[in-house]
Structure 1
Amino acid sequence: MILTLFFIFSISIVSADNFNSTDIADDSNADSIHESFQKLLINSNNLSHDKKSVSKDFDFFGLFDFGHEKKYGYWVWAKDMNNVDFDKLSKNGVNVVFLNSFAFTEYGQREVLDWIHEAREHDIEVHVWMQIFNTGNWISPLKNGTPDTRYFNYKIEEARYYAGLDEVSGIQIDYIRFEGNAYRYNNSTEAINMFVKNFSDEMRKINPDLTLSATVMPETDNDEYFYGQDIKTICKYVDVIVPMMYKGNYNENSSWIENTTRWFVDNSGDAEVWCGLQTYDSDYNVTALSADELIKDKDLCFKGGADGVFYFKWGMNNDLESRKIN
């Protein structure tokens, strides 16, 4: 019987968080975000949303592991949203984009949802990219020495709004860290772990099919000391770890990318690893890197075991954006 089922089955197959604020949307106004967001919450009640569900049926085909699709994409700033050419992206192999959440306050819900729908028509997933502890200025995860749960809940409530929208495929959380001084504070790591866990728990309630990804610094064992990022714990609560392999910022060469990727693959549990690459020399020199070099670096990420590669950011490297990356 099993052999018969397998035979039938077989013949049926045809087959940016940076050191500084360079990844903050320069069209954002942090002081007005709360007011604008509250308006969005009110307006969102006027739109109906299809709720996704998880099938409880036995998945026979899930018994067979035929590999999974590699992910290729870009971070997209809010101000660049309407300049993105989905035809071009799709033809060049892009299948995911991280859209900065400020797009909702810049353009309004209806326009962003139309943009997301257009992306989906080109087989491109859209993940809403949220900046957590830096939205223009650094925000401490601690208040009076303990995790600032009031601020945590504020950002989680914002994310609940995105998670309930039609065709949003994921939430990408950036700046889930201290500025580089976590070692000065008691409970710094506990605060970051608490936020990620609480965030994940609430997103799973809204839509268990969402892909949750967390941007982290690429300093491996030093991430916890400087940034409060305990990779081995964070990976338990998200689907994807996104280390920022910004070699120019660290004055490193391409081989560093492969070795660092392998460390994250080995230390991220069941979470996938999607590498983040700079499309320019460094935060101190924004000269665009050659497409050949960036494609080579992408290949080194995969050689190190990555499941995806994302470039920061769309609109900064015309040479790369004109090349096929998949």
Structure 2
Amino acid sequence: MRSVSSTSFLNFKLLKLPEMKIFKYSISAIALSIVAAGCVDKTDSFSIEAYSDLVINEIAANDGRNYVDTWIEIANNSDQEKDLSELGLYLFDEYFDGRQIASFEGKKLQPKERLVVSTGDETLNTGFASTSNFSLVLGLSPDKGIVDRFELGDKGKLALPGSYQRMPDMTGEWKNTPAASKGQENRVLTLDNTKPNAIWLWSSHAGEWIENDGEIMKNMKALGYDHILLNFSAFETESKIKTTAQFLQLAAETGMMVHVWMQAFYQGGNWISPVIDAENRYDQDLFDRIVAEAKMYVEEYGAQGIHLDYIRFGGTAHKHNPSEEITAVGAVTECCRQVREGIDAVGENVVLSAAMMAEGSAAYYYGQNPAKMGKYVDVFMPMIYRYHGGSVKDGDETCKTRARLFTTVTDRQVWAGITSYEYEGNNVKSLPAERIREDAELFANQTDCSGLVLFRYALGTFPDVNDLWD
């Protein structure tokens, strides 16, 4: 800027009044222009530039659901510290038109750091639901200085432990995921990025798994067990669902995949034949019920896997072959096909597994043919239980032969199902970790099995299996 000398100032005072008015007006106009330009620059240029690479990264919209919180994750995808003090989160939905639901005064995010605001700790002052349209704005105000925005659009309703996540983390498009990654790198768990070690878990143990901030669950994860086969009874009553909701959320945060362990052809202590022999047809009503149940677990509870137990006859399959077209093997296979089709319609990458009888005559007695079922099943879990009543123990060669019944006829994964207990006479006796590990190594080192399933939690001391399949 040019300096103003005293001579110029004296000359300025000698100007005539009309010219003075014009000059004053010009100065005012220029000043206003400068101020206005400065405001625009601060809001729309300088300030926004300071917040570049700050993103809304994950959203769990759970309003209206019991036992779970609504929360939002903000992430700093830059290599610079970001001061969030001037920013707010603003909600637009059927109730609010730009209401501020979170502020960040005094908050700073380091590079790649995340910040979660939640109704649980009241850092988020209201919830919102995935069942009705909403949008979120991260900015200086609801309509100015907008740093990032989320629009629900057609992204769909969330499952109970699910969230909307940017994929890839911090940079990608929005994805409706079955399990949240709260406070962690956004990811969807699959067979490819988890260890192939699972536990059959009765629902009666779900409560203890979430006690003390999930101490047991986190310990199992640390030991290398990435998959939980949770019995369907966990979803039967409102009181159980309260526990299950917390269980599912904790499993998502811990990085464990939950498969719902269903009973296909066995209910209330009785076998149900999927073949109506007198009418030479399959029991489609039975199939419909099984498919609807499986879809419900995926849609409502974000099940990442469906595990079909009792997907067989109780030893009488050979009596249910009324024609060449309608057979026991055909019934089991057709049920698998319909479940596969049903869960694929409501979820992505949902794992379908089946508990299998590890016997050479399984097709004749149980209607299980892994070569045919393998068109639809992702993981076979043969129950290769080597310990029997009367202290009987199958030898290594017998166990390996039973594993080959599956590994030689299908390219699907085969996870050996083994027990965490033996029998002392006819009494169950828990196995120590060393013995369970020894049994597991037999299948890992001397067969083509690709995973392990332990039956069951609360019996035996589970060993570390992190390196079992290396």
- Where on the TM-score scale, by shorter chain, does this alignment land: which range? 0.7 to 0.9
Deviation string, structure 1 residues 191-226 (Cα, Å, up to 9, x no partner) = 11111111111111111311110111001x311011
Cα drift, residue 236 of structure 1: 0.9
The AA in structure 1 aligned to 2:421 is Y
Equivalent of 1:99 in 224, 227, 230: 230
Does the Cα contact within 8 Å between 1:255 and 1:300 map onto a contact in 2?
no
Equivalent of 1:73 in 189, 198, 202: 198
- What TM-score does the superposition give when structure 2 sets the normalisation length? 0.53
Cα drift, residue 137 of structure 1: 1.9
CA distance in 1, matches of 2:251, 2:208: 13
Aligned to 2:454: 311
CA distance in 1, matches of 2:309, 2:449: 19
Matched residue of 1:243: which SS? strand
Aligned to 1:202: 342
Kindly indicate whether structure 1 or structure 2 has the higher relative contact order, using CA contacts under 8 Å at least 6 residues apart: 1
Cα drift, residue 280 of structure 1: 1.7
Does the Cα contact within 8 Å between 1:257 and 1:297 map onto a contact in 2?
no
Decide which structure has greater helix share: 1
Structure 1 unaligned blocks of 5 or more: 1-44, 56-66
Matching of residue 192 in structure 1 with residue 332 in structure 2 = yes
Aligned to 2:94: none
Q: Cα–Cα, structure 1 residues 51 and 197, in superposed 2: closer, same or farther, change >3 Å?
A: farther
Matched residue of 2:236: which SS? helix
Deviation string, structure 1 residues 274-316 (Cα, Å, up to 9, x no partner) = 1111112259542223322221111111121222101011111
The AA in structure 2 aligned to 1:153 is D
The AA in structure 2 aligned to 1:124 is M
Matching of residue 237 in structure 1 with residue 376 in structure 2 = yes
Matching of residue 226 in structure 1 with residue 365 in structure 2 = yes
Deviation string, structure 1 residues 240-287 (Cα, Å, up to 9, x no partner) = 111111112485123322332233111123x11111111122595422
Does the Cα contact within 8 Å between 1:241 and 1:273 map onto a contact in 2?
yes
Matched residue of 2:305: which SS? strand
Aligned to 2:402: 260
Q: State which drifts further: 222-231 or 100-109.
A: 100-109
Matched residue of 1:306: which SS? coil
CA distance in 2, matches of 1:122, 1:91: 10
CA distance in 1, matches of 2:428, 2:240: 31
The AA in structure 1 aligned to 2:329 is T
The AA in structure 2 aligned to 1:140 is S
Cα drift, residue 51 of structure 1: 8.4
Cα drift, residue 105 of structure 1: 0.9
Percent of residue pairs bearing the same amino acid type: 27
Q: Cα–Cα, structure 1 residues 266 and 68, in superposed 2: closer, same or farther, change >3 Å?
A: farther
Does the Cα contact within 8 Å between 2:228 and 2:259 map onto a contact in 1?
yes
Map 1:2-151 to 2 at 5 A. Answer: 48-49=158-159, 69-84=194-209, 85-106=216-237, 107-135=239-267, 136-143=269-276, 144=278, 145-151=280-286
Does the Cα contact within 8 Å between 1:70 and 1:307 map onto a contact in 2?
no
Q: Cα–Cα, structure 1 residues 51 and 93, in superposed 2: closer, same or farther, change >3 Å?
A: closer
Does the Cα contact within 8 Å between 1:117 and 1:167 map onto a contact in 2?
no
Q: Of the two, which has the highest radius of gyration? A: 2
Does the Cα contact within 8 Å between 2:340 and 2:377 map onto a contact in 1?
yes
Cα drift, residue 48 of structure 1: 3.8
Aligned to 1:297: 439
CA distance in 2, matches of 1:174, 1:48: 27
CA distance in 1, matches of 2:307, 2:419: 17
Does the Cα contact within 8 Å between 2:232 and 2:262 map onto a contact in 1?
yes
Structure 2 unaligned blocks of 5 or more: 1-130, 133-156, 168-191, 210-215, 322-326
Aligned to 2:185: none
CA distance in 2, matches of 1:52, 1:201: 24
